[in-house]
Amino acid sequence: MDIVIANKSHIKHATVICDTIEESAKVRGTGIAKRTPEYIISKIENGNAVIAVDGDKFAGFCYIEAWGHGKFVANSGLIVHPDYRKIGLAKKIKKTTFEYSRTKYPDAKIFGITTGLAVMKINYELGYKPVTFSELTDDPTFWKGCQTCKNYDILQRTQQKMCLCTGMMYDPKEKENKKQKHPYNSKVLQRLKNIKQALLLKKKKPAKNSIIPLEEGYISLKKVMAKFKGK
Ligand SMILES: CC(C)(COP(=O)(O)OP(=O)(O)OC[C@H]1O[C@@H](n2cnc3c(N)ncnc32)[C@H](O)[C@@H]1OP(=O)(O)O)[C@@H](O)C(=O)NCCC(=O)NCCS
């Protein structure tokens, strides 16, 4: 398996990358921003993507994108082909992408938004912390990318304050990033996901008292995030 900065020889994988992202989102039943082959190709051509290939077969992919005039860098579109999952490939691709982003943009805050617990775990181990959306880039083009996600109405309803995705960020200025204060706790992030789903997803026929009042939900969310940050 080779994990490399993607180059023109990898353009042929653009369609299968997009198809794999779309099919995986359907299987998981979660929202995900759609990507076109043209978009993936532009990332590859600009030297802003990391690809894992097994001989001639596509195995995994992730790309980087600078926002807010290079103050922020997103590591996005992480995908591992189903044939290569659960062998630590996502972790390796993310680490390569993270180190590449650090080299290319040493002063930038590196961030991502995700609903996936696997990605949250990987991010946490790299030194990311969960943050509110207001701490991420306010570049409208970044948030425009969410328009193709099936949960976009939630982002609009909350005036871009929150959605089912969790924002996570690595701040190079925070020295303690190198060593997290607490070991990764999947239960905390699972609880964060559950609260968000109860708070933000519209149920067709809500059972009596099944919807958490908005204010109460925000408070619970803040508490869970503070716990995760070790406050
Ligand atoms: C999520 C995804 C990238 C994980 O890829 P992977 O190569 O199987 O992940 P890894 O093997 O590197 O696993 C990394 C860690 O996450 C855990 N993990 C993997 N899949 C998981 C899942 N579905 N739920 C919870 N944890 C999971 C692994 O156990 C591992 O933890 P460990 O260090 O304790 O062993 C892959 O399943 C995928 O492409 N899914 C569809 C697309 C997607 O969800 N992308 C993320 C959008 S932001």
| Higher-scoring residue by pLDDT: 197, 105 | 105
- Residues with C-beta less than 6 Å from any ligand 1 atom: 24, 78-80, 85-91, 114, 116-119, 121-122
pLDDT tens figures, 25-79: 888 776 677 789 999 999 999 999 999 999 999 999 999 999 988 899 999 999 9
pLDDT tens figures, 121-173: 999 999 999 999 999 999 888 998 888 888 899 999 888 888 999 999 999 98
Ligand 1 centre from 115 Cα, in Å?
Answer: 11
Report in angstroms the alpha-carbon separations of 160 from 116, 138, 164, 165: 19, 10, 11, 11
Residues ≥6 apart with Cβ < 8 Å to 72: 66, 108, 109, 110, 111, 136, 137, 139
pTM: 0.84
| Residue 29, number of CB atoms within 10 A of its CB | 7
Ligand 1 centre from 206 Cα, in Å?
Answer: 32
Q: Which of 1, 35, 91 to mutate to test the pocket of ligand 1 (most atoms within 8 A of CB)?
A: 91
CATH of the domain at 71: 3.40.630.30
Q: Give me the number of domains the chain comprises.
A: 1
Q: Among residues 53, 63, 127, 130, which one has the least CA distance to residue 96?
A: 63
Q: Among residues 107, 41, 109, 44, which one has the least CA distance to residue 75?
A: 109
**Mean pLDDT score of the chain, rounded to an integer?**
86
> How confident is the model at residue 231, as a pLDDT?
53
DSSP 36: -
3-17, 47-61, 195-209, range with the lowest pLDDT: 195-209
Ligand 1 centre from 214 Cα, in Å?
Answer: 31
3-state secondary structure of 50: strand
Question: With contact defined as beta carbons under 8 Å apart, do 110 and 136 qualify?
Answer: no
**H or E stretch including 190?**
helix 186-200
Q: Which domain holds residue 55?
A: 2-228
Supply the DSSP string of 54-97, one letter for each residue.
Answer: ETTEEEEEEEEEEETTTTEEEEEEEEE-GGGTTSSHHHHHHHHH
Q: What whole-number distance in Å separates Cα of residue 180 and Cα of residue 125?
A: 8
Ligand 1 centre from 81 Cα, in Å?
Answer: 11
Q: Binning pLDDT at 50, 70 and 90, where does residue 213 land?
A: low
